[in-house]
């Protein structure tokens, strides 16, 4: 009898634990011109997928929404430039190269070398 009670108690606990791990899932589609701000508020115990005109996002078990699409922009290449210690230019950088480039250099004269 004790074994039967222990097995029944174990089965009930396993069912309760598994139930706690399952969340309801909903999928919201906002009209084609609607923005993601119209997505339903995240709620604990539910996973929400929300597709809007500006982005697709998901909230898992009441967490804040995470944007799936569009991906965050990836910045590549040169993002700023500074010439001869001048102020750094950011954004679109214009570089003008004269048709005849000139070069300057410093000359050092050494005397009394033995």
pLDDT tens profile 3-29? 655 555 565 565 555 555 556 888 888
Residue written as token pair 């009209």: 31
The residues spanned by each domain of the chain are 21-73
- Nearest of 101, 93, 17, 32 to residue 9 by alpha carbon: 17
Stated as kind and residue range, the H or E segment containing 17 is helix 2-21
Q: What is the mean pLDDT of the chain?
A: 74
Q: Are 46 and 40 in contact (CB under 8 A)?
A: no
């Amino acid at each position: 009898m004790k074994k039967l009670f222990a097995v029944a108690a174990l089965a009930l606990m396993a069912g309760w634990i598994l139930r706690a791990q399952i969340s309801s899932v909903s999928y919201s589609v906002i009209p084609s011109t609607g923005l993601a701000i119209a997505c339903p508020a995240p709620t604990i115990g539910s996973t929400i997928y929300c597709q809007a005109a500006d982005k697709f996002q998901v909230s898992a078990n009441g967490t804040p929404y995470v944007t799936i699409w569009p991906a965050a922009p990836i910045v590549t290449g040169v993002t700023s430039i500074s010439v001869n210690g001048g102020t750094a230019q950011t954004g679109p950088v214009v570089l003008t190269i004269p048709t005849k480039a000139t070069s300057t250099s410093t000359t050092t004269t050494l005397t009394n070398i033995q």
